[in-house]
Amino acid sequence: MQPLVFGSRAKLSLADAKLIIDAAEKKAAELGVDMNIAVVDESGNLIAFVRMDGARITDVEAAINKASAAVTAGGRFGPGGGMDVRGISSMNADAGSKGLPIRVRGHIVGAVGCSSGTQDEEYAVARAGVEAFIKTLRRSSQE
């Protein structure tokens, strides 16, 4: 799987967003926490969203806003471990209080935002989604 490319910039596709949400949902289930999970594009516009059965309906907008904020702020949210493999990386986020941006070749292509859990749970769920995307992207770039 390769992200969509327009000009010289990569873009997240709906298939990418679904992959991210599937992995994030799986992590939330492992943690035993129902979440709202949002994936936005490089402009902060919603691509895909899921509200797990027990996630708080009052937190729907929070997940979307966290993802959008991660994109518009450029991913500069403080300390944390990032990933960087062949120009594919996710930026740092401060333990889930913000969304987790997704970078491809140095450009933010989108972000994931989660709500209805603790900060640590939300960060773990968002990171699982981003890691699944990066793993798939890395694998397809080796083919």
Q: Using alpha carbons, select from 131, 3, 116, 113 the residue that is nearest to residue 68.
A: 113
Output the pLDDT for position 111: 95
User: Any idea what the CATH number is for the domain that residue 15 is in?
Assistant: 3.30.450.150
What is the total count of domains within the chain?
1
Output the pLDDT for position 8: 54
The boundaries of the domain holding residue 32 are: 4-142
Residue 86, judged by CB atoms within 10 A of its CB (0-12, 13-18, 19+), counts as exposed
3-state secondary structure of 89: strand
* Pairwise CA distance, residues 20 & 80, whole Å: 20
Q: What is the pLDDT along the chain (143 residues), one digit of tens a residue?
A: 555 544 456 789 999 999 999 999 999 999 999 999 999 999 999 999 999 999 999 999 999 999 999 998 765 443 343 333 333 344 433 333 579 999 888 889 999 999 999 999 999 999 999 999 999 988 877 76
